[in-house]
């Protein structure tokens, strides 16, 4: 009996010690995490002050090394503050708006070298300087208590969800949004890009639910006779579409078709696969036949990869005037190896068709353009988006470079009019 009592007492004592140890450990972790958050917050505040100073420095000069150095500081510091804010558990709406403003501020400073009119820069940055100073002061007030380092993890969580917060994060978010719209409004290219993403540029006639079903039956007759359920996209969707679900025997799937024009956004079919495997040439031909009959005949195969059940193809639209590939207008196609049937399609990027402009083509001497150890293997024309979201007609080059008896392959994209290098990418 005494042994049993001893064992019980020992067990209870051990549990108590363990519980105390875990509680102490959790408390230490809580302090450590809170300290890390406070350190990040302090870092963000310090960098924000440096950023404010850098913006003011650029307003001192016209054309000088001092102007260029301060402009580079804006680019670097805005990125630093963005990274610090992004790692903190703050109100999500405010964080997103604040990081967007900082990103646009840094990008504007970086792009200034392309501006011929420095007066425009000074006008923009003068206003941005005032707004940034006000935000820096507001930030200091909002974070004064949080920087102490003794804030509980629960309190940080409340900041993240705007629960019991002592500061008006919603108000700060709206203020930052207003500053973003006034200081750095969307460019025409950015506005066009946003409209394309939301399919606002579609001007096609609206199709009915019945017409969408007929479109489905025309494209996929092998599964369109199955049980069908049609739903409309949810309210608030960036673009309205019909969501058609189907099921037949062992096949299930869905297809999304836009209300404007009846364009296929995506298609997916799930079914068991057979043991038979068709040849690559047969499957590729089936894919091309499907695209041609579906109204996507202006595309060419750009990429192909496979797994044990299917081939995944990427087709790119070809602009007819220059016979240039448009890498922003692509269709992803998944084709079954056993039958060559289409089991997956994503045409969203193709539907967001780019508005392309004619462009001058200046001949280039690649032997002078590249170093002597570089060889141009292939040259094509393509429309490629630059960092200003403009679609530019470009030389799409595949080149090799030999260094120390090792040959590396690169894709180099060069603007046909300005000779600007838009992209350089090493190939695996």
Q: Are 381 and 397 in contact (CB under 8 A)?
A: no
Query: Is it the case that residue 422 has pLDDT exceeding 80?
Result: yes
Of 224 and 156, the structure prediction assigns the larger pLDDT to 224
- The answer to whether residues 217 and 224 touch, using CB atoms and an 8 Å cutoff, is yes
Domain map of the chain by residue range?
2-185, 209-351, 366-426
Q: What is the mean pLDDT of residues 343-371?
A: 90
> Model confidence at 47, in pLDDT bands (50, 70, 90)?
confident
Other Cβ atoms closer than 10 A to 17 = 10
| 10-14, 70-74, 182-186, 216-220, range with greatest mean pLDDT | 216-220
DSSP type of residue 112: G
Which residues share a beta bridge with 319?
324
Name the pTM for this structure: 0.58
What's the pLDDT at 325? 96
Query: Whole-number mean pLDDT of the chain?
Result: 79
Which residue matches tokens 């590939």? 325
Scan for tokens 């496979």, then name that residue. Answer: 306
Mean pLDDT over residues 289-300, rounded? 91
How large is the average pLDDT for residues 135-156?
66
CA 119, CA 122: separation in Å to the nearest integer? 5
Note the pLDDT of residue 64: 63
- Identify the H or E element spanning 416: none
pLDDT in tens, 189-211: 555 555 555 566 677 789 999 99
Q: What average pLDDT does this structure show over 111-138?
A: 78
**Which fold does the domain 209-351 belong to in CATH?**
TATA-Binding Protein (3.30.310)
Least confident of 188-197, 298-307, 407-416: 188-197
pLDDT tens track for 151-166: 554 554 454 444 445 6
Residue 334 buriedness (CB in 10 A; 0-12 / 13-18 / 19+): buried
Rounded distance between C-alpha atoms, residue 412 and residue 167, angstroms: 50
Confidence of residue 323 (pLDDT cuts 50, 70, 90): very high
Of 17-26, 39-48, 197-206, 296-305, which gets the smallest average pLDDT?
Answer: 17-26
């Amino acid at each position: 009996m005494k042994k049993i009592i001893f064992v019980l007492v020992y067990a209870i004592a051990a549990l108590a010690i363990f519980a105390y140890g875990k509680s102490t450990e959790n408390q230490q972790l809580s302090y450590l995490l809170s300290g890390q958050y406070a350190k990040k917050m302090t870092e963000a505040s310090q960098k924000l002050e440096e950023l404010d100073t850098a913006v003011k420095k650029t307003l001192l000069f016209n054309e000088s090394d001092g102007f260029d150095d301060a402009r580079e500081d804006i680019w670097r510091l805005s990125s630093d503050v963005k990274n610090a804010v992004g790692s903190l558990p703050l109100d999500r709406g405010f964080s997103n708006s604040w990081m967007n403003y900082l990103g646009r501020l840094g990008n504007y400073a970086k792009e200034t070298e392309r501006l011929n009119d420095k007066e425009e820069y000074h006008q923009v940055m003068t206003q941005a300087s005032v707004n940034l100073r006000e935000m820096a002061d507001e930030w200091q007030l909002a974070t004064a208590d949080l920087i102490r380092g003794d804030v509980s993890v629960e309190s940080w969580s409340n900041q993240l969800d705007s629960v019991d917060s002592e500061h008006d994060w919603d108000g700060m978010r709206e203020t930052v949004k207003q500053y973003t719209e006034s200081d750095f409004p969307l460019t025409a290219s950015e506005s066009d890009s946003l409209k394309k993403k939301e399919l606002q540029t579609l001007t096609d006639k609206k199709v009915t639910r019945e017409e969408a079903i007929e479109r489905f039956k025309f494209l996929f007759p092998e599964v369109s006779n199955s049980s069908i359920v049609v739903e409309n996209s949810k309210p608030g969707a960036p673009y309205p579409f019909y969501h058609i679900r189907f099921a037949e025997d062992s096949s299930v799937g869905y297809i999304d078709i836009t209300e404007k024009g009846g364009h296929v956004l995506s298609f997916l079919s799930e079914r068991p696969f057979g043991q038979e495997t068709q040849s690559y040439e047969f499957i590729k031909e089936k894919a091309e036949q499907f695209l041609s009959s579906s109204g996507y005949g202006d595309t060419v195969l750009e990429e192909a990869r496979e797994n044990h059940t299917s081939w995944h193809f990427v087709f790119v639209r070809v602009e007819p005037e220059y016979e240039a590939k448009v890498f922003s207008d692509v269709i992803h196609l998944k084709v079954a190896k056993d039958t060559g049937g289409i089991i997956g399609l994503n045409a969203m990027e193709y539907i967001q068709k780019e508005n392309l402009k004619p462009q001058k083509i200046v001949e280039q001497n690649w032997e002078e353009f590249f170093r002597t150890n570089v060889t141009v293997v292939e040259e094509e024309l393509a429309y490629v988006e630059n960092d200003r979201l403009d679609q530019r007609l470009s030389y799409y080059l595949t080149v090799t470079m030999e260094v120390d008896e090792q040959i590396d392959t690169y894709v180099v994209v060069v603007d046909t009019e300005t000779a600007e290098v838009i992209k350089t990418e090493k190939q695996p």
